[in-house]
Chain A
Amino acid sequence: MEAAVTTGAAGPSKCFGHEIWLAGIAVLLAAAAGLVYAPTAVDPGTGQMLDFQRIMYFHVPSAWTAFLAFFVTFVASVRMLSKRSMWWDSLAVASAEIGVLFCTLALVTGSIWGKAAWGVWWVWDARLSTTLILWLIYAVYLVLRMSTPLPERSARFGAVYAIAGFTVVPLAFASIHLWRTAHPPAIVMGGQGLAPEMYWTLAFCTGAFTLLYVSFLRARFRLEQLRRSQQ
């Protein structure tokens, strides 16, 4: 990554690079693809048209991006501890914040989808429940960092918490999933067969969201580096 911007005050506007334009265009295209290009899903049982299903093109990429962001935080945390490097820590905290953003989006879109599909605002299936736990862990990560005023200590503590938290996520998914398969709930959020255009749309939307994540990450990282250099 290039060096932090050195001119002017630590304003967010100076931290966004040109990649944000590319990401913005990609997201607009993704929205178009999801809302217009992709064929409307049809309920296999009743033959009814399910327009609300399009929210999948925002829900799934959000969840994927959140997971990617937290994975980056995990890797950055491990590197930070092994090298005691504050550069890696800036990356960790930047990715965690953006991850919480995308995770919130994933939970909200998941909730809306559930409401539209089954009339309930929440379903306790393995994937949504794990996403909620993920959100809780990283929200607490941010709280922990705020409660630790010394920067190096905040970095170390955050890194340890991020490592423990991320390790738990696959365990959470496995245990909830194990339980669910033994006791299938009334409502199952499954992946029904998807038409090829749907797969492509989903892939494109995921790519667009990832691009958005990367541009947000770079901006937030630069902001963090700027703040630290000016303290």
Chain B
Amino acid sequence: MNSLSAILHLAAKDVRIELRTREALASMVVFSLLVIVLFHFGFAELGANAVVFAPGALWVTFTFSAMIGLSRSFSMEEMNGCLRGLLLCPHDRGVIYAGKMAASVITVTIASSITLVLFVVLFDLPVVWNTLVIWVVMFLGICGIAAVGTLFSALSQGTRMRQTLLPVLVLPVILPQVVFGMNTTAKLIGTGDLRGMPANLVAMIMFDVILTTVGVLTFEHVVVE
């Protein structure tokens, strides 16, 4: 079986398990709802304009709910030593990383898409025709968070603090991508101005590609003693 099939097969296994239990998806969506409520009372009720604070609030929500999904990436493999079972397969270790990352991208995107809809509806945001672009920006951000989060989830699992260390590890490294995503989304919601958008998307894609490459190359050293 070649590497690409193995990646897809591993990702499919993870997604199938998640869809069966739906634990992570439920946690992520409920968490997003709670954050929306918080932001409403913290900002909207106090007079702030939703169009101004929504991009920031949205991306804070995406980022922290992604942590919930990503922490499961390797904590689920702890039972029965399943990670070692995966590492025994005759593939490069980067394949295991890529499969896990792909699965996280899928589950976090599903949860975040629901979040995006909730945000638009509950904050009455003026987005209609540029929703697709906002979704693409969100997706690219999630890819970056997943690239970093998958690698660091494997790291965290080997520390004393386990997955509680994950947000601490991930946030400084994804800060540029999240800030960029926030600003791009703000532009899309606020002015709907699409000039310069291709350049922004390319910048985000570059971040994703570079961090995924780092993940593929260094994952072996995280998991092999």
Interface of A is mostly: helix
Q: In this assembly, does B1 line the interface, its C-beta being within 8 Å of a C-beta of chain A?
A: no
Question: In the assembled complex, how far is the CB of residue A64 from the closest CB belonging to chain B, in whole angstroms?
Answer: 21
Give the total of A residues in contact with B, Cβ under 8 Å: 30
Q: In this assembly, does B176 line the interface, its C-beta being within 8 Å of a C-beta of chain A?
A: yes
CB contacts (< 8 Å) of B177 on chain A: these are 171, 175
Determine the residue in chain A with the shortest Cβ distance to B217. Answer: A163
CB contacts (< 8 Å) of B152 on chain A: these are 161, 164
Task: A140 to B161: give the CA distance in the assembly, Å.
Answer: 13
Contact A161 B155 (CB under 8 A): yes
Determine the residue in chain A with the shortest Cβ distance to B207. Answer: A171
Task: A215 to B16: give the CA distance in the assembly, Å.
Answer: 56
A-B contacts, CB under 8 A, total: 85
The one of B151, B172, B173, B218 in contact with A81, judged by C-beta atoms closer than 8 angstroms, is: B218
The one of B158, B203, B211, B225 in contact with A148, judged by C-beta atoms closer than 8 angstroms, is: B158
Interface of B is mostly: helix
Contact A148 B160 (CB under 8 A): yes
Q: In this assembly, does B206 line the interface, its C-beta being within 8 Å of a C-beta of chain A?
A: yes
CB contacts (< 8 Å) of A149 on chain B: these are 160
Q: In this assembly, does B21 line the interface, its C-beta being within 8 Å of a C-beta of chain A?
A: no
Contact B172 A133 (CB under 8 A): yes
CB contacts (< 8 Å) of A178 on chain B: these are 199, 203
CB contacts (< 8 Å) of B218 on chain A: these are 81, 160, 163-164
Q: In this assembly, does B30 line the interface, its C-beta being within 8 Å of a C-beta of chain A?
A: no
Task: A176 to B177: give the CA distance in the assembly, Å.
Answer: 10
Interface residues, chain A, CB within 8 Å of chain B? 81, 133, 136-137, 140, 143-144, 147-149, 152-153, 156-157, 159-161, 163-165, 167-168, 171-172, 174-176, 178-179, 182
A-B contact pairs, 20 of them (CB 8 A): A81-B218, A133-B172, A137-B173, A147-B161, A157-B155, A157-B158, A160-B151, A164-B214, A164-B218, A165-B172, A168-B176, A168-B211, A171-B177, A171-B207, A175-B176, A175-B179, A175-B180, A176-B179, A179-B179, A179-B183
